[in-house]
């Protein structure tokens, strides 16, 4: 009986394949199986390949091969992306299978009901596919199942109560599925549960009390749902092992009980409540991450925030904090990411911020901060991004800030009242990608930027610069956006070597307004990544796709106060996608028989747009997957 180490599924013309292996494990003209064995005993079979192939074509060959060589040895089956098609029912015959990993593929259809035939299954990973339908009742027969990961699919029908019968469950993740329904009380039978994730699942109702009796629970994440009610006053005593708690984006009340301070291992807290919660965190000596975004928190941020000395991330974005930023912020010497933007903080930025020697990102934009930018920021030797736009900052830009070699990502000082000339030290920012000094009161000449070769965005619009535009600007070879309009400059704009900047090139006089025109609303927030690159195109494509399908511009007046084209489209995916599709977006002879297929295709197109149109580049759908998905949708529509 063959002891299989691995089986790789790859194109037959690959140089490293062996002729003998091709002859023995021939699959078709284009693909073959090869087998390697380094002599070590293993019960793992792994299949992988370099291009998409219908799983229905792959499995029969593998299954026959496995049967021939000894199916009883197979205890783990991993499929490497990206297989298309449905999960075949033949999987249910692998009675000794312990681990099934089919994640991050393009599987569609439903979860096979006869998966229950794999009676020894301990872990199932089928996340990041396109599976639809509900969780089959037969899953409750998997009495040894400890891990079920089904997130990032299109599953509906709620979290079924019968899952509570799987008392061996330790990890359950269903994030980003339009499941609906409530969290069933029967999940309280999962006495070994350590991790529960059901964010963005359209869940309603309260969290059942039985959940808070799961004393081994370490991670509990159910953010961005419609959960109501309150948390028990003794939550900190009931869940002593809790390390990660995410419940923001719900309609909960009294979510931060004083007993939370008993959760001494708490490392991440993302909630919503009033600001008195800070004092209740005094015993959370391991709290490293605190995020409370858009939680309608009102009042003065208490100085006790400085007691959370283990924090490496503090984000209180888009609330209604007012008053001064407490000087005790300077005590958080492990802090790497500080986001206090979108509030009503006023007064000066404390010099103690210079004590944050590990700080890499600083977001204080959209507040009412006054006075000067503290020169102590020059002590933050790891700082690579600073956003202070839309405040009331005055005086000169401190040269100490511009002497930081770490400042490579972005420096955004737009829309303040900064004055004086741009310090010559700006030329020391050799690797800076993004610089926005627009709408200030900066004076004199602009010939200080030569040497910042990688800079891709340079915005000097709306200042009081004078004189001739220096020819040295032509050395900025990486420039993709350049705006010097609304100044007092004259002369000829230098030619640029490539990209959008080549649009420049005509003479301007003292009163003209000439710039490279980026398209407002279609370019992503630049400060989220290191460089201006092709990821812009994926973001913009997502916007355009949603605009075509909904016939609503991203800049439409209906999108305000937190509602955007992205959020509008995402919410429609949950249960009413057909309502947001423009009647002229697609013309088909739709009958009752094919109506469901058409709706599924339209929903898939909207899902592509939503997946491309996100702020964070790593979360965007890869262009290869976009192309494959659109081709699949086209094939379906053409056969209707």
User: What pLDDT is stored for residue 584 in this prediction?
Assistant: 63
User: What pLDDT is stored for residue 432 in this prediction?
Assistant: 86
Q: Any idea which of 18-32, 190-204, 501-515 has the lowest mean pLDDT?
A: 18-32
CA–CA gap between residue 230 and residue 207 (Å, rounded): 8
Q: What percent of the chain has pLDDT over 90?
A: 35
CA–CA gap between residue 78 and residue 8 (Å, rounded): 11
Q: Any idea which of 25-34, 152-161, 170-179, 219-228 has the lowest mean pLDDT?
A: 25-34
User: What pLDDT is stored for residue 182 in this prediction?
Assistant: 94
In terms of pLDDT, which residue wins out, 201 or 3?
A: 201
User: What pLDDT is stored for residue 522 in this prediction?
Assistant: 54
CA–CA gap between residue 220 and residue 169 (Å, rounded): 14
Tell the burial category of 9 from Cβ atoms under 10 Å away from its Cβ (0-12, 13-18, 19+).
Answer: buried
Cβ proximity of 606 and 578 under 8 Å = no
User: What pLDDT is stored for residue 196 in this prediction?
Assistant: 96
Cα pseudo-dihedral 479, 482, 487, 492, rounded to 10: 70
Closest CA to 138 of 164, 117, 159: 117
Closest CA to 500 of 484, 515, 481: 481
Asked if pLDDT for residue 640 goes beyond 80, the answer is: no
Q: Any idea which of 252-266, 369-383, 529-543, 548-562 has the lowest mean pLDDT?
A: 529-543
Tell the burial category of 610 from Cβ atoms under 10 Å away from its Cβ (0-12, 13-18, 19+).
Answer: buried
DSSP symbol at 428:
G
| Main-chain phi, psi angles of 547, to 5 degrees | -65, -40
One DSSP character per residue, 138-159 reads GGGG-TT--EEE--SSEE-S-S
CA–CA gap between residue 474 and residue 367 (Å, rounded): 36
Look at the block and give the residue holding tokens 């812009």: 536
| Main-chain phi, psi angles of 283, to 5 degrees | -90, 0
Look at the block and give the residue holding tokens 């301070």: 261
- The kind and range of the H/E element at 517 are none
Instruction: Compute the chain's Rg from CA coordinates.
Output: 28
CA–CA gap between residue 1 and residue 126 (Å, rounded): 30
Q: Any idea which of 62-66, 139-143, 619-623, 630-634 has the lowest mean pLDDT?
A: 62-66
Cβ proximity of 413 and 390 under 8 Å = no
| Beta strand 244-246 pairing with 268-270 | parallel
Please report how many Cα atoms fall inside a 13 Å half-sphere around the Cα of residue 457, on the Cβ side: 25
One DSSP character per residue, 213-234 reads G-TT--EEE--SSEEESB--TT
Q: Helix, strand, or coil here: 359?
A: coil
CA–CA gap between residue 422 and residue 424 (Å, rounded): 6
Asked if pLDDT for residue 172 goes beyond 60, the answer is: yes
pLDDT band at 4 (very low <50, low <70, confident <90, very high): very low
User: What pLDDT is stored for residue 102 in this prediction?
Assistant: 87
User: What pLDDT is stored for residue 420 in this prediction?
Assistant: 92
User: What pLDDT is stored for residue 22 in this prediction?
Assistant: 30
pLDDT digits (tens, 9 = 90+) for 459-477: 888 999 988 888 777 777 6
Tell the burial category of 140 from Cβ atoms under 10 Å away from its Cβ (0-12, 13-18, 19+).
Answer: middle
**Edge-first strand listing for the sheet containing 464-468:** 298-300, 320-323, 344-348, 368-371, 392-395, 417-420, 441-444, 464-468, 488-492, 507-508
Closest CA to 516 of 581, 457, 463, 447: 457
- The kind and range of the H/E element at 466 are strand 464-468
The whole-model pTM stands at 0.51
pLDDT digits (tens, 9 = 90+) for 301-343: 888 889 889 999 999 888 888 999 999 999 999 999 999 999 9
Asked if pLDDT for residue 375 goes beyond 90, the answer is: yes
Please tell me whether the peptide bond between 82 and the residue prior to it is cis, using omega within 30 degrees of 0: yes
Please report how many Cα atoms fall inside a 13 Å half-sphere around the Cα of residue 258, on the Cβ side: 0
Residue length of the chain: 640
CA–CA gap between residue 305 and residue 580 (Å, rounded): 44
Output the CA–CA distances (angstroms, integers) from residue 464 to 417, 438, 469, in the order listed. Answer: 12, 10, 13
Cβ proximity of 565 and 545 under 8 Å = no
Cβ proximity of 252 and 230 under 8 Å = yes
């Amino acid at each position: 009986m063959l002891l299989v180490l691995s089986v790789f599924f790859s194109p037959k013309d690959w140089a490293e394949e062996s002729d003998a292996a091709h002859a023995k494990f021939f699959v078709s003209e284009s693909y073959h199986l090869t087998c390697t064995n380094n002599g070590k005993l293993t019960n793992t079979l792994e299949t992988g390949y370099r291009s998409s192939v219908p799983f229905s074509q792959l499995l029969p060959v593998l299954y026959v091969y496995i049967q021939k060589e000894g199916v009883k040895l197979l205890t783990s089956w991993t499929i490497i992306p990206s297989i298309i098609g449905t999960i075949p029912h033949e999987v249910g015959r692998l009675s000794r299978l312990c681990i099934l990993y089919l994640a991050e593929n393009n599987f569609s259809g439903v979860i096979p009901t006869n998966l229950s035939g794999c009676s020894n299954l301990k872990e199932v990973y089928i996340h990041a596919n396109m599976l639809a339908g509900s969780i089959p009742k037969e899953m409750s027969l998997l009495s040894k199942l400890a891990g079920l990961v089904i997130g990032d699919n299109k599953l509906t029908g709620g979290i079924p109560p019968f899952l509570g019968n799987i008392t061996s469950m330790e990890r359950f993740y269903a994030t980003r599925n339009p499941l609906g329904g409530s969290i069933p009380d029967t999940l309280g039978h999962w006495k070994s549960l350590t991790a529960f994730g059901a964010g963005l699942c359209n869940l309603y109702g309260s969290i059942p009390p039985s959940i808070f009796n799961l004393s081994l629970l370490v991670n509990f994440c159910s953010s961005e749902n419609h959960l109501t009610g309150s948390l028990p006053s003794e939550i900190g005593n009931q869940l002593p092992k809790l390390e990660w708690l995410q419940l923001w984006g719900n309609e909960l009340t009294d979510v931060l009980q004083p007993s939370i301070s008993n959760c001494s291992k708490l490392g991440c807290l993302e909630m919503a409540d009033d600001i008195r919660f800070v004092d209740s965190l005094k015993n959370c000596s391991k709290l490293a991450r605190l995020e409370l975004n858009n939680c309608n928190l009102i009042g003065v941020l208490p100085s006790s925030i400085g007691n959370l000395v283990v924090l490496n991330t503090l984000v209180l974005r888009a609330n209604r904090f007012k008053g001064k930023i407490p000087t005790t912020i300077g005590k958080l010497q492990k802090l790497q990411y500080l986001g206090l933007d979108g509030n009503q903080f006023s007064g000066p930025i404390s010099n103690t911020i210079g004590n944050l020697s590990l700080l890499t990102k600083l977001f204080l934009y959209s507040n009412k901060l006054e006075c000067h930018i503290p020169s102590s920021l020059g002590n933050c030797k790891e700082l690579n991004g600073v956003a202070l736009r839309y405040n009331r900052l005055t005086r000169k830009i401190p040269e100490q800030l511009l002497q930081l070699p770490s400042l490579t990502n972005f420096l955004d000082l737009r829309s303040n009242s900064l004055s004086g000339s741009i310090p010559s030290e700006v030329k020391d920012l050799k690797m800076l990608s993004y610089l926005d000094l627009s709408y200030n009161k900066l004076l004199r000449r602009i010939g200080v930027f030569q040497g910042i070769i990688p800079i891709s965005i340079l915005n000097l619009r709306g200042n009081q610069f004078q004189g001739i535009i220096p020819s040295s600007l032509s050395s900025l070879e990486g420039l993709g956006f350049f705006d010097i309009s609304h100044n007092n400059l004259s002369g000829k704009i230098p030619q640029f070597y490539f990209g959008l900047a080549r649009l420049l090139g005509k003479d301007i006089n003292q009163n003209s307004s000439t710039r490279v025109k980026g398209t407002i609303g279609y370019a992503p927030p630049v400060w989220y990544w290191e460089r201006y690159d092709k990821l812009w195109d994926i973001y913009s494509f997502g916007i355009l796709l949603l605009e075509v399908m909904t016939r609503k511009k991203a800049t439409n007046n209906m999108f305000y106060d937190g509602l955007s084209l992205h959020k509008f489209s995402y919410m429609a995916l949950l249960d009413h996608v057909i309502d947001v599709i423009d009647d002229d977006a697609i013309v088909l002879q739709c009958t009752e028989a094919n109506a469901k297929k058409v709706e599924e295709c339209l929903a898939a197109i909207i899902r592509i747009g939503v997946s491309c149109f996100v702020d964070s580049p790593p979360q965007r759908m890869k262009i290869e997957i976009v192309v494959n998905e659109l081709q699949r949708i086209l094939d379906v529509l053409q056969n209707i």
